[in-house]
Amino acid sequence: MLGVLANRTYRRLFAAQVVALIGTGLLTVALGLLAYRLAGAEAGAVLGTALAIKMVAYVGVAPVASAFTGLWPRRAFLVATDLIRAGIALALPFVDRVWQVYLLIFVLQCCSAAFTPTFQATIPEILPEERDYTRALSLSRLAYDLENLLSPTLAALLLTVIDFPGLFGGTVIGFLGSAALVVSVPLPSPPPAHRAGLLARTTRGLRIALATPRLRGLLALNLAVAAAGAMVIVNTVLIVQALLQRPPGDVAVTLGLFGGGSMLAALVLPRLLDRLPDRAVMIPAAALLGLVLLALAAASRDGTIGWPTLLAAWLVLGFGSSAVQTPTGRLLRRSAAVADRPAVFAAQFALSHAAWLLTYPLAGWLGARAGLPVTLALLGALTLAAVAAAARLWPAADPDIVEHAHPDLAPDHPHLGSLGSLGAERRTQIHTHAHAFVIDDLHHHWPVARPG
């Protein structure tokens, strides 16, 4: 897996991702302490609102930002968003009103919603070989999971020598380090911006996703992962402390098992994906999430659950979640022309977070009102329903090369001549050819599979 780091450009971009993630992790801890300083006992409400603002920014801003990525040099765009985020982190220790926190967090998350999909869409161009790109995706997943484990530890160590506003300094260093690493390497030039209007450019990624069968299936898988993940993130503390009466440190242990399962999946997926298609990995992994939740619901019918059982279940849920999420970039790369990748990655970024925006409050409301068995059962049922939808929307036969007709094109159109793989006589007669099919300006609808 580490062999992909031999590519100098990718190595530096991966380092940029790591240092930015560390800075973001420190920001999470520092925000909690800042909220307590400003709001006292209402700190939880402040943080909850800040998280909702984050999700709203992710869902609403990413597609709009993607409409502008082709207008500026990609490196300048990424560096600018990093510098703005660093400036906001520098200002946060000086705020003295809750509304100021909300405003700055919104701007910061808008920049993140612009940065992340653009960054993700750049990696396939740097690593065009699927084998290398798959390993890069696994490394990225490992980086996210390690950040979740190590950033709180680093923050705790720093707080032994500095007051919490100093953690924002670590965030500033992380974003500045990311900007320096991005500016140190040449990046592919952005493809020419589409001439369509702003609304058409903003919705382009969504339209491609909804017209591509495998991406429609991915939308359903997003909901499956979010339903299971929300159960873990929202209700772990309730289960461990309120139900099992265990000490606060065991909350970290439980969440650590979830992260450990995710890292384990990231380590084994590259070789697995070398042998199996994405669908054969992602749909069973998502189904596993629902089955684990339903099994836990059955095991906790009396309102209790064993500590070892919970740890094992969270480990498996982490593995399954990562096995669904890690190959996502491969699907997006297969499903869009180079010029459309930023828009498609932005659409996936927004839609996946929309699923979390739905399931976070659902998991919280069910956990507080319905009890553990009902919450597990309903979220498990929602997960399996989403998996069933994904299996129906994403056909098992999903070739890259698709034969299709262009009855609206002249027989001598350059597209028919340059990309055709069928005989010239047949193309001339029925305007048919075959190539790696994606939705774009010449292909507005997915071809209907022919029987037999």
Q: In this predicted model, what pLDDT tens digit does every residue of 392-416 receive, in sequence order?
A: 999 998 888 888 887 777 777 777 7
The per-residue pLDDT for 428 is 45
Is pTM, for the whole model, over 0.85? yes
Q: What are phi and psi of 88, to 5 degrees?
A: -65, -45
Of all residues in the chain, the percent with pLDDT exceeding 70 is: 93
Same domain, 162 and 275: no
> Is 449 part of a structural domain of the chain?
no
Q: Does 441 map to a domain?
A: no
Question: Does the pLDDT at position 421 exceed 60?
Answer: no
pLDDT confidence of residue 422: 47
Give the Cα separation of 224 and 202 in Å (integer). 26
One domain for residues 104 and 221: no
Q: Give one word for 310, left, alpha or beta, with left for phi > 0 and alpha for psi -120 to 50.
A: alpha
Q: What is the pLDDT of residue 169?
A: 92
In a domain? residue 290: yes
Q: What is the arithmetic mean of pLDDT over 298-305?
A: 82
Residue 244 has pLDDT above 80, yes or no: yes
Q: Is 421 among the domain residues?
A: yes
| Residue 128 main-chain phi, psi, to 5 deg | -70, -20
Look up the CATH number of the domain holding residue 49: 1.20.1250.20
- The larger pLDDT score, comparing residue 312 to residue 415, is at 312
Residue 191 reports pLDDT greater than 70 = no
Q: Bridge-partner residues for 433, per DSSP?
A: 404
Do 293 and 333 lie in one domain? The reply is yes
Residue 67 domain-assigned? yes
pLDDT in tens, 268-295: 999 999 999 999 999 999 999 999 999 9
What does the pLDDT read at residue 193? Answer: 56
Pairing relationship of beta strands 432-436 and 401-405 according to DSSP bridges:
antiparallel
- Whether 100 contacts 106, CB under 8 Å: no
Region 332-336 average pLDDT: 91
Query: What's the pLDDT score for residue 309?
Result: 93
Number of domains in the chain: 3
> What pLDDT is attached to residue 44?
65
Structural domain ending residue among the three candidates 160, 190, 220:
190
Out of 374, 397, 420, pick the residue that ends a domain. 397
For residue 301, pLDDT over 50 is answered with yes
Q: Is residue 68 part of a domain?
A: yes
- Same-domain check for residues 310 and 361: yes
**Domain with 411 in it:** 401-436
Other CB atoms within a 10 A radius of the CB of residue 357 amount to: 19
136 and 165 belong to one structural domain? yes
Helices (H) and strands (E) in the chain, counts: 16, 2
107 and 254 part of one domain: no
